[in-house]
Amino acid sequence: MKQIPASLLTLTAGILVTVISFWVGQNHGLMPEQASEQAALVDGLFNVMMMIATALFLVVEGAIVYFLVKYRRRAGDDTDGIPVDGNLPLEAFWTAIPSILVIGLGIYSVQIFQEMGGFDPSSHSMISHSHVSAVVAQAPATEAPMAGDMVPLLPAPDAAKPAFTPKYGFGANPDDPNGQADVVVNVTGMQYAWIFNYPDSGITTGELHVPVNQDVQVNLVAQDVIHSFWVPQFRLKQDALPGQQTGLRFKASKIGTYPIVCAELCGSYHGGMRSQVIVHSPEEYETWLTENQVAQQQTPNAVVAVNPANLTDTEFLTPYAKELDVKADALSHLHTKHTMMPAMVAD
Amino acid sequence: MQGSTLNSPEIAVEATLSPAMITHDAHPDLRVWGLLTFLVSESLMFGGFFAAYLLIRGAAAAWPPEGTEVELLLPSINTVILVSSSFVIHLGDVAIKKNDVAGMRKWYGITALMGAIFLLGQVYEYMNLGYGLSTNVFANCFYLMTGFHGLHVFIGLLLILGVLWRSRRPGHYSDHKHTGIEMAEIYWHFVDIIWIVLFALVYILTLF
Amino acid sequence: MTQAQIPLETTSTIHVEHLPAHAPWKWYDYFTFNVDHKVIGIQYLVTSFIFYLIGGLMAVAMRTELATPNPDFIDPSLYNAFLTNHGTIMIFLWIVPAAIGGFGNYLIPLMIGARDMAFPKLNAIAFWLNPPAGALLLGSFFFGGAQSGWTSYPPLSEITANTAQSMWILAIIFVGSSSILGALNFIVTILLMRVPSLKWDQMPLFCWAILATSALALLSTPVLAAGLVLLLFDINFGTSFYKPDEGGNVIIYQHLFWFYSHPAVYLMILPVFGVMSEIIPVHARKPIFGYKAIAFSSLAICLVGLFVWVHHMFTSGTPPWMRLFFTISTLIVAVPTGVKIFSWVATLWGGKIRFTSAMLFAVGLLSMFVLGGLSGVTLGAVPFDVHVHDSYYIVAHFHYVLFGGSVFGIYAAIYHWFPKMTGRMMNETWGKVHFVMTFIGTNLTFLPMHTLGIQGMPRRVAMYDPQFTAINQLCTFGAFFLAASVIPFMINVIWSWSHGEKASDNPWNALTLEWTTASPPIVENWEVLPVVTHGPYAYGGNYVPETTDVTADVKG
Ligand code: HEA
Ligand code: HEA
Ligand code: CUA
Ligand SMILES: [Cu+2]
């Protein structure tokens, strides 16, 4: 050790840290499956942050451990250490480097944010689809039963109202030539279920079905308390708020079934408020659409959510806790068994 | 070596004997500073209410909604009373600095009276508005903010009455010993400033 | 280069006022409305530690529930009540009162050469607001317990367990008032009661930290109070500030809440940063590296910390410009924090490091906080936060900074100042056992949570997907281990307090003023106020003043 000059050691350490950080940044394997275009963007950012963090972590922890060993007090040594109490260039250096790093990260975040469509959450303009509203039962707000003693409901959906324009969330990527979404789904969160309504076809379900590689716009609203719509595989999350319109835009990139998680504490069974998104191939999606459209026309009112206020805890838990996500058949099973409540879906 | 110059006895003596250190059992009397710091904090509490009010207002279609309009004449008179009371109380402060306890008592008495009139006016206003706290979100804000402010006026009034009560004893206050008087005055000014903002927000702004 | 000593000069000749000696406090004085800052400090520390145990037991219950995916150990509503009160107690009745109330009160007057705080009675009132707050929280369990998280977002908080929720609000208003009164006391004390010979740049860094903390508390707490008053009115008096169907708005609460609660996280870490700046130089026998940089970075964190609150609301009703503005401001906080971290690491360089228990916890903090801070920076970037918000990644982040940061710092401070407070040394061997167990336990419990969150496990759930079982069980095991680590500590404290080896006035050979008085300090702190002749961290040869020979172990 004695012969190797310090600069060489530093250089080796620097190279080592760089190599390890690059490797960790690419191979941490922490993220779940990527199933949307947005996921790739987020993961790119995360990998870079992971790389920077690994480098900083190694340097700082390395220095701590090295100093602890090197400058430990030896037995019998009762003297003080070296009386150094500052070094301006060094301090300027370690103020400047993090500043540059965070500014870089900030700019990169803005870039990703823009590509995800964060700048214009209300960019989707929908073609009129008022013909469908007939399918969705219209219920005056006051009739809906509620958990708890307060009834903070949305005004009854009004077919004449202009299309739902989310004020918050993610919209179209500005580089996207047509800001139009291919599929629009109105999503209502309620204790403890998600209701999906397809305004263009009048379908109302307890699961989200979307075609792969198409722009999907979900418009979110909450009926009682705040919920949060999260698809980990899409890396997207947006709160559904009572009284305010939010939304998400995404393009699913991989056929499959992914969980929809409620991420905002919304009551005792918040953990059971699960659903799933099923990403179909275009053909499958068409089939699903037609099948369900037919089914819905026959029983326009049956497509509803059960209000948990009408259930006991055990009844409520049966489908949620035991199976841990709302299976479609579990939902329909509930529908036939319990009091119905017309879905309150803003159109 | 850092700080060694301060070893010189002159400086130390000077500092040890500063007037603030002698009073109050060698614990300096810093109550005025404490009050000022506290008022910074208090104003942020009102700031929180004001911010909430403005945000709610920003989202409302009509402000105030029909049926919950505010009265203007009485509150304006009330405002004039409260604002002028700030000048009156200052005269009291000037008087005590001239060691004029009777003068101070006079001005503080008048201030207390004006404060009481303000409070009574507010009660009268509440009783004649025709709507209550829970009528709508404007009424919520109106009663909560003016009520909260009214509570502060009431506390200020108590402080002033406390000063008056203590000043009965001759020699309790003098030109160089009147922290209590000063604190009551500062508090009263604070209550006054908050009212001006509140008046602008709740009354004036609703005109537009 | 011998060890630095405290060169103290007796100045009795020039001090006119000699206070009549006061008999030392008896044990029962600690249970009364006592106005001595040292008594109040200890009252804070002991009470908050009791609440730490209570909050910790709730955590253990929660972790037991989470050992399996199904909600089978406790009822989900009780789980929510536990998690709400765990968070609330840990923050408002453990870290804040221990770090600010406890060490702040005990040390600030001693460090600046004052006989007490500026407003001793107010100080006692501030303390005595805490026990009723705790009683309200615990009592709320008779009414089901508040269940809407420590954030208590409406509308949920307005429709669940109304009585318990109202009690929760009152409890927070109590501790909030306590914190405002404490803050104004600290500000006035530090600004106006320093012993005249103490210059600004000789003030220990802990004082700077408490000054910054107090400014933050003073400015942000009242805003929370405003938000909670509105919530209380909504629940109990029929108003509708946060009821969307009646013209209210749920987002306003979130702004008012986080305007306080983000600064609150700095309330919990800044005093601990101050503690770090005291402990590291003493046990590394080195001057602190970059005194001015550390002092200014406290103020910078305080200032920037007031403008980052929306990073908790990135997925809420937050317009794009806010999301980006607060991304940038959040990332900027990393810079002053980094300055501190680097300065401490540099303080280790060239030292003669003694691995006392206090020092072990301090370097433990240093290494753990870096990880928690770095995960915080990733959260600051809005595109990534959108993915992990309200997931276990957040739980991991804040336990790293809160447990690995604040709690480690409080432990370090207890080991460091225990001799001063009680006049007895703590047992070092048990201290080391405590450290090793805590260090392992913390990482075992909270490191795996990062993965859980990224993979898709939301927080605040009593039931989860079976795919997460294995990692959750690891966390649960870690939590049990962590709970066990508290036991050697408690035994150590209780045993040392009564039977520990007697401590000298300055067992660590430290240079700040609190070590110039007796252990434990007399009532009124010094018979004769000390005169400051050197900086607080003047360790090392060059700094030993020529007057070393007049050094007298001046006792109070
Ligand atoms: C002691 C408490 C504490 C501290 C100190 C911090 C510190 C930080 N926190 Fe944390 N935070 C919490 C407690 C704390 N936090 C809590 C309790 C929550 C959850 C609340 C709830 O929802 O219940 C939370 C949540 C939280 C969120 C919201 C997440 C969400 O809900 O979606 C965010 C987002 O930005 C965040 C960011 C940060 C940042 C950037 C810091 C920074 O201050 C960290 C700075 C430190 C470093 C960066 C490390 C050292 C620096 C260097 C080595 C220099 C070089 C570094 C770089 C160049 C990057 N925190
Ligand atoms: C400083 C703050 C602090 C501290 C120290 C801790 C400590 C711990 N926390 Fe806490 N935690 C929070 C602050 C803190 N937490 C906050 C703010 C939240 C968010 C709440 C919310 O979402 O609203 C949270 C949430 C939270 C969750 C998430 C719950 C959820 O989202 O569903 C979990 C889950 O594992 C957890 C676990 C733990 C554990 C295992 C410890 C351990 O460190 C505890 C160790 C155990 C002990 C210290 C007890 C020891 C006692 C004994 C052994 C018994 C002896 C007793 C007697 C003799 C009487 N915490
Ligand atoms: Cu809905 Cu949680
Ligand atoms: Cu924050």
DSSP string computed for A256-319: EEEEEEE-S--STTGGG-EEEEEEEPHHHHHHHHHHHHHHHHH-TT---PPPGGGS-HHHHHHH
Q: How many cross-chain Cβ pairs, B to C, lie less than 8 Å apart? A: 171
Q: Does residue C115 form part of some domain? A: yes
Are A32 and C455 in contact (CB < 8 Å)?
yes
Domain ranges of chain A: 8-69+92-115, 121-301, 306-332
**Minimum-distance ligand 2 atom for the alpha carbon of C462:** 32
How far does the CA of residue B110 sit from the closest CA of chain C (Å)?
31
Closest-CA distance of chain B to residue C272, Å? 24
Which residues of chain B neighbour C292 with C-beta distances below 8 Å? Answer: none
Mean pLDDT of A146-168: 47
| Tens of each residue's pLDDT in chain C, 556 residues | 345 555 444 343 344 444 556 677 777 778 888 888 989 999 999 999 999 999 999 999 999 999 999 888 888 899 999 999 999 999 999 999 999 999 999 999 999 988 889 899 999 999 999 999 999 999 999 998 899 999 999 889 998 889 999 999 999 999 999 999 999 999 999 999 888 888 888 899 999 999 999 999 999 999 999 999 999 999 999 898 998 888 888 999 999 999 999 999 999 999 999 999 999 999 988 888 888 899 899 889 989 989 999 999 999 988 888 889 999 999 999 999 999 999 999 999 888 899 999 999 999 999 999 999 999 999 999 999 999 999 999 999 999 999 999 999 999 999 999 999 998 999 999 999 999 999 999 999 999 999 999 999 999 999 999 999 999 999 999 999 999 999 999 999 999 998 888 888 888 888 888 888 888 888 888 888 888 877 788 887 544 443 333 333 433 3
DSSP state of B206: G
Asked if the structure places residue C28 within a domain, the reply is no
C92 forms beta bridges with none
Residue C532 domain-assigned (yes or no): no
**What's the pLDDT at C403?**
94
Per the domain annotation, does C456 fall within a domain? yes
* Predicted local distance difference test score (pLDDT) of residue A178: 64
Q: What confidence score (pLDDT) does residue C283 get?
A: 92
CB-neighbour burial class of residue C21 (10 A; exposed 0-12, middle 13-18, buried 19+): exposed
**pLDDT tens-digit map of A80-122:** 878 877 888 888 998 999 999 999 999 999 999 988 888 877 7
* pLDDT attached to residue A338: 34
3-state helix, strand, coil in chain A (%, to 5): 40, 20, 40
Contact A150 C324 (CB under 8 A): no
Query: Is the CB of C483 within 6 Å of ligand 2?
Result: yes
Distance CA A103, CA A236 (A): 24
Quote the pLDDT of residue C50: 95
Is the complex ipTM more than 0.90? no
Q: Whose CA is nearest to atom 2 of ligand 2?
A: C90
**Phi, psi at B100, each rounded to 5°:** -100, 85
C 144-173 → B contacts, CB under 8 A: none
Predicted confidence at residue A2, as pLDDT, reads 56
- Let me know: does C531 contact C11? Beta carbons within 8 Å: yes
Q: Do A226 and C289 touch (CB under 8 A)?
A: no
In this predicted structure, what is the pLDDT of residue C10?
39
Say yes or no: CB of residue C402 within 6 Å of ligand 1: yes
Strand-pair category, A246-251 with A168-169: parallel
Cβ under 8 Å to B: C residues 526-555: 529, 531-535, 538, 543, 545-546
Q: CA-to-CA distance for C380 and C402, rounded, in angstroms?
A: 17
Q: Which atom of ligand 1 is nearest to the CA of C331?
A: 40
pLDDT tens digits, A6-23: 788 888 888 988 888 888
Binding-face residues of C in 343-372 toward A, CB within 8 A: 343, 345-346, 348-355, 363, 366-367, 370-371
Measured CA to CA, the distance from residue C327 to residue A110 in angstroms comes to 9
Residue A163: band (very low, low, confident or very high) from pLDDT cuts 50, 70, 90: low
Separation in Å, CA of A90 to nearest CA in chain C: 10
Amino acid at B130: G
Report residue A324's pLDDT band, with 50, 70 and 90 as the boundaries. Answer: very low
Residue B128 CA, distance from chain mean position: 26
The dihedrals phi and psi of C372, each to the nearest 5 degrees, come to -65, -40
Task: Give the CA-trace dihedral at C425, C427, C433, C435, to 10 degrees.
Answer: 0
Chain C residues 459-488 with a CB less than 8 Å from chain A: 459-466
pLDDT at site B27: 56
The total of structural domains in chain C comes to 1
Q: Which token pair is A207?
A: 């699961």
pLDDT at A347 over 70: no
> pLDDT tens across C360-400, in order?
999 999 999 999 999 999 999 999 999 999 999 999 999 99
Question: How buried is C73 (Cβ within 10 angstroms: 0-12 exposed, 13-18 middle, 19+ buried)?
Answer: middle
Give the separation between CA C189 and CA C176, rounded to whole angstroms.
Answer: 20
pLDDT at B42 over 60: yes
Report yes or no on C17 lying in a domain. Answer: no
Give the other-Cβ count within 10 Å of C193's Cβ: 22
Helix (H) or strand (E) holding A231, with range, is strand A227-231
**The two structure tokens encoding residue A327:** 């299976």
CATH of A121-301, one of 2.60.40.420, 3.30.70.20, 3.40.720.10, 3.20.20.120: 2.60.40.420
Q: What pTM value is reported for the model?
A: 0.88
What are the structure tokens assigned to A136, written together? 């969705």
User: According to the model, what pLDDT value does residue A123 have?
Assistant: 63
Asked if C53 and C89 touch (Cβ cutoff 8 Å), the reply is no
Please indicate whether residue A180 or residue C377 has the higher confidence score (pLDDT): C377
In the DSSP assignment, the letter for residue C196 is: T
Cα–Cα distance for residue pair C556/C554, rounded to 1 Å: 7
CA-proximal residue: ligand 3, atom 1 (nearest)? A227
Q: Is C59 in the pocket of ligand 2 (CB under 6 A)?
A: yes
Residue C5 is predicted with a pLDDT of 53
Across B92-113, b (16+ Cβ under 10 Å) vs e yields bbebbeeeebeebbebbbbbbe
Would you state the pLDDT for residue A340?
33
Q: How far is C420 from chain A (nearest CA, A)?
A: 22
- Best of C78, C272, C399 for a ligand 2 pocket test (most atoms within 8 Å of beta carbon): C399
Instruction: For residue C197, give every residue at least 6 positions away whose Cβ sits within 8 Å of its Cβ, in sequence order, or none.
Output: B3, B6, B7, B11, B12, B15, C113, C531, C532, C533
What is residue C21's predicted lDDT score, i.e. its pLDDT? 61
8 Å CB contact of C317 and A57 = no
The verdict on the CB of residue C512 being under 6 Å from ligand 1 is no
CA gap C406, C251 in Å, rounded: 30
Q: Using an 8 Å Cβ cutoff, are C505 and C422 in contact?
A: no
CB pairs under 8 A between A and C: 323
- The overall average pLDDT reported for chain A is 75
Measured by CA distance, the residue closest to atom 16 of ligand 1 is: C398
From the list B33, B38, B60, the residue facing C192 with the nearest CB is B33
Give the tens place of pLDDT for each residue, C43-96: 999 999 999 999 999 999 999 999 999 888 888 899 999 999 999 999 999 999
CA distance A47 to chain C (A): 10
- Ligand 2 pocket, residue C486 CB under 6 Å: yes
Q: Assess whether the C-beta atom of A331 lies below 6 angstroms from ligand 3.
A: no
Summarised one tens digit per residue, pLDDT across range B108-129 is 999 999 999 999 999 999 888 8
CA distances from C49 to B7, C102, C168, C217 (A): 42, 10, 20, 21
CATH of residue C130: 1.20.210.10
The answer to whether residue A326 scores a pLDDT higher than 90 is no
Domains, chain B, in order of start with CATH, read 32-207 (1.20.120.80)
**Contact C111/C514 with Cβ under 8 angstroms?**
yes
Inform me whether the pLDDT recorded for A151 exceeds 60. Answer: no
The range of the structural domain enclosing residue C486 comes to 39-516
Which residue is listed with tokens 């920077």? A52
